[in-house]
Amino acid sequence: MGRSVTISSGLIPVAGKATPVPGPGGAVPRYPLRSAAMMAAVLAAFSVVGVQLVRLAGQGAGVPVAAISAPIATGTSRPDLVDRSGRLLAGDVELPSLFVDPLLVVDRDELVEKLRGVLPDLDEPGLRSALAEKGRRFHWVKRGLSPALAQRVHNLGLPGLAFRQELRRAYPGGHLAGHVLGGVNVDNRAVAGIERYLDEAQLVDPVVSVEPSSRVPVQLSLDMRVQHALEQELIEAKRTYRAQGAGGVVLDVETGEVIASSSLPFVDPSRLDQTMAGGVIDRIAGGTYELGSIFKLMTVAMALDSGRVTANTVLDLSQPLSAGRFEFKDHHGGARAMSVRDVFLKSSNVGAGTLALNEGTKRQKAFLASLGLADQIRTEAGPVAGPVVPGNWDRAETITVSFGHGIAVAPLQFAAAAAALVNGGEYVAPTLLKRPAGAVVERRRVISEKTSAALREMMRANVAERGGTGERAATPGFAVGGKTGTAEIAVRGRYDRNAVIASFLAAFPIEKPRYVTLVMLFRPARTAASGGEITASRTAAPATRRLVGRIAPLLGLKPDATANGS
């Protein structure tokens, strides 16, 4: 009975544990194959895990990446704006914006005092109010700081202040073409100008990061060099003739592209909120004016195109024109008889009125409408200020409109109409975007080529012939033609002889014009430089001469030694 029992597994349960039991003869029995396989599998599995751990440890030795999900304000990325040669006019850049977490601020007074030292235009009442508000955790202190300024704020070491990167619009040219470019608000959304076109054409993208737009830059029709030259010449003319304001536009007569457009005072697109608050308007597209005698271009074109008269037709001007209680005379006495050409060259109001009356009010209205002067026009920057036309357009109005009074239009609208008169007779809508090479431009015939040629001849004579009102616009090296306009401004219901808008519309090279320019001086003073006069022939005309002499080479026109003006 003392014989022990051997269990086939070689294990006996002792207090819940399996203990190997020597087999017969005292030798440890060999493990069965199943156990060995299991152990091998477990060993293999652990080896795999071990190898994988080593591999991952080796991979993880790189730069640690912090995945912090910080709350980032939704912004807007805008494509670059470039001029017709690809020079940058506006672009998005990443700039730090400063905010405060009031809960983390230790000393409110210290924070405000120290910030005021670095940020002079700090909104102190707003900041103090935000800091005092219970439960508030966020308040913008200043958005779009320069990196240098941000560093100075950072160096203050004030707890509670922090920065957040945002996309901000940069205008590297400063005020250059400020009125045309418009501007954006603190959220990078357009508020005016061509920037608004980007929003309307859905070229802006909402972003949650601060990555600049990857869209193709939007190419404007402006030429930065010509724009600069125009602005410089307007500044010079405003200073020389002590004018209250000035404006000018350069237009391509074939494509309708606005090559340059400027209005004094300038606006800085990067500070548009402040400048717009001051009521600074774009006189070229945003205001309407009675332009005076340059409107005779339209009247003479209308008369010539109807075929009732030619440039040499002599008009009987022996009697002053009358309409009701009004009587119209020429300032400089006038003549008893005058050819249509002389009406233009001597800028006779009576002659222009006679031509308009010959054509009739209905024809005058229709002709001006065909030139786009009766209705509001649009550019990509938005609607141009609508024309102000007589409510009751009768005989008196027909006469006054013929010499540019009683009707007020935006200078850009007028320049586009004048371009149609000199380019062979086809109206092309003005545009602020560069037209692609070979693009088909929509044209509308308004006068015949013959009429256009006759007008160009008169415009050239007005500049080139001695005694012409545009004589002082004669530009050495370039054949310029043009027309002056001195429009008295209505002050308290009466036209003031000492307050005028002096304008000069020029086309060059006049044989086959490529460009028209319109230079306007608002309320010039009687200065020594203008010989004590305020007329366009002594102010806007010489300003145009300087402008054309400067921009024509930039526009690729070769000087002609024979075109020395008068």
Partner 1 sequence: MRLTILSSVFLTLSSAFLLYALNNDTRALEEALQAQERVAAELKSDIAVLKAERAHLARPDRMEPAARLLGMAPPRPTQLTGKIETGSTKEHAGQ
The verdict on 45 binding partner 1 (CB under 8 A) reads: yes
String of b and e for 399-435 (b: at least 16 CB within 10 Å)?
bbbbbbbbbbbbbbbbbbbbbbbbbbbbbbebbbbbb
The verdict on 174 binding partner 1 (CB under 8 A) reads: yes
The verdict on 48 binding partner 1 (CB under 8 A) reads: yes
Per DSSP bridges, beta strands 382-383 and 378-379 are antiparallel
The verdict on 79 binding partner 1 (CB under 8 A) reads: no
Of 213, 221, 261, 293, the catalytic one is 293
Farthest CA pair distance, the chain: 163
**Among the listed residues 18, 39, 41, 201, the single contact to partner 1 using CB under 8 A:** 41
Query: Please, which residue, 224 or 291, has the CB nearer to partner 1?
Result: 224
**Among the listed residues 162, 170, 388, 461, the single contact to partner 1 using CB under 8 A:** 170
For residue 319, what is the DSSP state? S
Minimum CB–partner distance for residue 232 and partner 1 (Å): 8
The verdict on 561 binding partner 1 (CB under 8 A) reads: yes
**Among the listed residues 244, 318, 376, 564, the single contact to partner 1 using CB under 8 A:** 564
Minimum CB–partner distance for residue 327 and partner 1 (Å): 47
Sign of CA dihedral 228, 472, 334, 366: negative
**Among the listed residues 32, 117, 126, 172, the single contact to partner 1 using CB under 8 A:** 172
Nearest-angstrom CA–CA distance, 65 and 75:
25
Stretch that binds partner 1, among 17-25, 86-94, 392-400, 414-422 (CB under 8 A): 86-94
Query: Please, which residue, 195 or 359, has the CB nearer to partner 1?
Result: 195
**Among the listed residues 133, 200, 211, 442, the single contact to partner 1 using CB under 8 A:** 211
Stretch that binds partner 1, among 183-191, 228-236, 421-429, 432-440 (CB under 8 A): 228-236
Nearest to 364 by CA among 391, 327, 389, 401: 401
E strand spans, 44-188: 75-77, 81-82, 88-100, 139-142, 161-170, 183-184
The verdict on 265 binding partner 1 (CB under 8 A) reads: no
Minimum CB–partner distance for residue 468 and partner 1 (Å): 21
E strand spans, 439-480: 444-445
Query: Please, which residue, 21 or 170, has the CB nearer to partner 1?
Result: 170
Helix, strand, coil percentages (3-state) for the chain, rounded to 5, are 35, 25, 40
Nearest to 521 by CA among 500, 537, 542: 500
Nearest-angstrom CA–CA distance, 347 and 344:
5
Per DSSP bridges, beta strands 258-264 and 139-142 are unpaired
The verdict on 212 binding partner 1 (CB under 8 A) reads: yes
Distance of CA 264 to the CA centre of its chain: 15
Query: Please, which residue, 229 or 519, has the CB nearer to partner 1?
Result: 229
The verdict on 476 binding partner 1 (CB under 8 A) reads: yes
Query: Please, which residue, 180 or 502, has the CB nearer to partner 1?
Result: 180
The verdict on 176 binding partner 1 (CB under 8 A) reads: yes
The verdict on 50 binding partner 1 (CB under 8 A) reads: no
Burial class (CB in 10 A: 0-12, 13-18, 19+), 73: middle
The verdict on 554 binding partner 1 (CB under 8 A) reads: yes
The verdict on 477 binding partner 1 (CB under 8 A) reads: yes
Within residues 427-456, the interface with partner 1 by CB under 8 A covers none
The verdict on 173 binding partner 1 (CB under 8 A) reads: yes
Nearest-angstrom CA–CA distance, 189 and 183:
8
Nearest to 236 by CA among 554, 533, 524: 524
Query: Please, which residue, 35 or 209, has the CB nearer to partner 1?
Result: 209
Stretch that binds partner 1, among 58-66, 138-146, 411-419, 483-491 (CB under 8 A): 58-66
Nearest-angstrom CA–CA distance, 228 and 234:
10
370 is catalytic: no
| Cβ(424)–Cβ(449) below 8 Å | yes
Please state whether 424 falls in left (phi above 0), alpha (psi between -120 and 50) or beta: left
**Among the listed residues 76, 79, 80, 290, the single contact to partner 1 using CB under 8 A:** 80
**Among the listed residues 21, 29, 87, 461, the single contact to partner 1 using CB under 8 A:** 87
Nearest-angstrom CA–CA distance, 477 and 493:
44
For residue 431, what is the DSSP state? B
Minimum CB–partner distance for residue 74 and partner 1 (Å): 17
Query: Please, which residue, 37 or 103, has the CB nearer to partner 1?
Result: 37
Stretch that binds partner 1, among 45-53, 107-115, 362-370, 394-402 (CB under 8 A): 45-53
Beta bridge partners of 95: 166
Kindly list the residues in this chain that would bind partner 1 in the complex (CB under 8 A): 41, 45, 48, 52, 56, 59, 63, 65, 80, 87-89, 91-94, 170, 172-174, 176, 209-212, 214, 224-225, 227-229, 232, 476-477, 549-550, 553-554, 558-561, 563-564
Active site residues: 293
